[in-house]
Structure 1
Amino acid sequence: MSAIMNPYLSFRDQAADALRFYQGIFGGDVETTTFGDGSMSTDPAEVDKVMHGQLTSGAGFVLMASDTPAAMGVPSGSAITLSLSGDDDAVLTGWWDALTADGTVVLPLDVAPWGDRFGMCTDRYGIDWMVSIARADAA
């Protein structure tokens, strides 16, 4: 059996902006379907909102996102944190810098007790992230 788990982010009306923001960080291609495209709403305030959006990054991972119709509540708070990890210091540090721009650093990206560089942040859209960069001598 083969399976893939993809994070699916919910927004009130910022899914398109957020996907473009993440595309600017991670590269890749964004595809979106609006509520109007999917004939899921005739409300003029909702037809251009994202019913389903997907960023397939150049690094091989997928982020999905959608806007939430006015009739539905937007999930608030989160028990989920997106985690990025790898050994390419320059790439992961660049992602960290972009995610923290106009965001909040929760734990600065620095050497952790286990030897890797590790940091936690919340981006401008309220999404929580962890970045872990393997130490150079880890193999």
Structure 2
Amino acid sequence: MSVKSTTHLNFRGDARAALEFYQSVFGGHVAAVTYKDAGNVQDPADADQVMWGQVLAENGFHVMAYDVPSGTPWDRGENAFFLSVRGETPEEIAAYWEKLSDGATIAQPLGPAQWAPLYGMLTDRFGVIWVLDVVSDHSA
């Protein structure tokens, strides 16, 4: 088993441009899945926004990003990032989730998602927002 933690940046409509910029700086490959691609459109205005994206470079640089949906409060200075933990198996991620959730506020209970075999989001007792998931074809 292996686990990776990655900074997950949050934007409002600028995720794709930010990912392309970071790629121009660090190299690598941009991957992006829109809300429409994932079948998760809550507001038609968000359909082509980035639901999940990343830049992954052979030099070790890795950053993830998404566009916060229009119906979710967001301020550029607040909740600007998540810490994303990506594991290889549901058992591995469930074990981390169990420990992190002690005293946490659960935003999205850990469970299957359209884009990952297992996904969950919480704010730990120290105010850090964590996104945990199992690697899938969309997120490899």
Paired-residue identity, %:
40
Determine whether 1:2 maps to 2:8: no
When the two chains are superposed, the root-mean-square deviation of aligned CA atoms in Å is 2.2
Aligned partner of 1:65 in structure 2 is 65
Q: 1:11 to 1:80 in 2, by over 3 A?
A: closer
- The structure carrying a bigger strand percent of its residues is 2
Aligned partner of 1:14 in structure 2 is 14
Q: 1:46 to 1:60 in 2, by over 3 A?
A: same
- Return the TM-score normalized by structure 1: 0.52
Say if 2:54 and 2:64, in contact at 8 Å, map to a contact too: yes
> By how many angstroms is 1:78 displaced?
5.4
Aligned partner of 1:44 in structure 2 is 44
Q: 1:40 to 1:28 in 2, by over 3 A?
A: same
Say if 1:10 and 1:75, in contact at 8 Å, map to a contact too: no
Considering only CA atoms, is the larger Rg found in Structure 1 or Structure 2? 1
Q: 1:79 to 1:46 in 2, by over 3 A?
A: closer
Structure 2: give runs of 5+ residues left out of the alignment: 82-140
Say if 1:32 and 1:50, in contact at 8 Å, map to a contact too: yes
> By how many angstroms is 1:2 displaced?
3.1
Say if 2:10 and 2:80, in contact at 8 Å, map to a contact too: no
> By how many angstroms is 1:75 displaced?
4.5
Higher relative contact order (CA 8 A, sep 6+): 2
What is the distance in 1 between the residues matched to 2:73 and 2:79?
Answer: 17
SS in 2 for 1:4: strand
Describe how 1:1-139 pairs up with structure 2 within 5 A. 2-41=2-41, 43-77=43-77
Structure 1: give runs of 5+ residues left out of the alignment: 82-139
SS in 2 for 1:6: strand
List, as ranges, runs of 4+ consecutive aligned residues in structure 1 with deviation greater than 6 Å: none
Q: 1:5 to 1:75 in 2, by over 3 A?
A: farther
Q: 1:23 to 1:42 in 2, by over 3 A?
A: same
What is the distance in 2 between the residues matched to 1:54 and 1:75?
Answer: 21
What is the distance in 1 between the residues matched to 2:77 and 2:32?
Answer: 25
- Return the TM-score normalized by structure 2: 0.52
